[in-house]
Amino acid sequence: MHGASLLFRDVPDKSAIAAIAERLRARGYSLDVQMLCLAEEAGEVIQAYRRAAGKARTPGEWSKVAEELADMVIVSHVTALLAGIDLDAAIAAKLDAIKARGGI
């Protein structure tokens, strides 16, 4: 896992992401709650990384880092849908800005 190729694919199943967002919306989840879920997922990524990198008392595996990163990406997409944000367009615009300042 560590040192994997830096190639990305589109989110494999956008309909599943949309279904999750709709289920949460139907349950009355607020955007505030969803933002907190996103922050929680980020914390879980850091915790998994610290364990896999040997920086925590409890050891961990890089596969757990991958799992938690996947959770964070999914929750990011769900959060964007609930907020009415076109995340694909936002990512494209951000990449353009990074390119413009010489970051890529």
Is 84 within the bounds of a domain?
yes
- The tally of domains found in the chain comes to 1
Is 91 within the bounds of a domain?
yes
Is 30 within the bounds of a domain?
yes
Tokens 């757990």 -> residue = 64
Is 23 within the bounds of a domain?
yes
**Of residues 69, 81, 68, the one with CA closest to residue 14:** 81
Mean pLDDT by 10 residues, the chain (104 residues): 60 88 96 97 99 98 98 96 95 95 88
Can you give the residue range of the structural domain that contains 77? 14-100
- Amino acid, single-letter form, for residue 100: A
The model's pTM is 0.86
CATH code for the domain of 67? 1.10.287.1080
Is 80 within the bounds of a domain?
yes
Is 1 within the bounds of a domain?
no
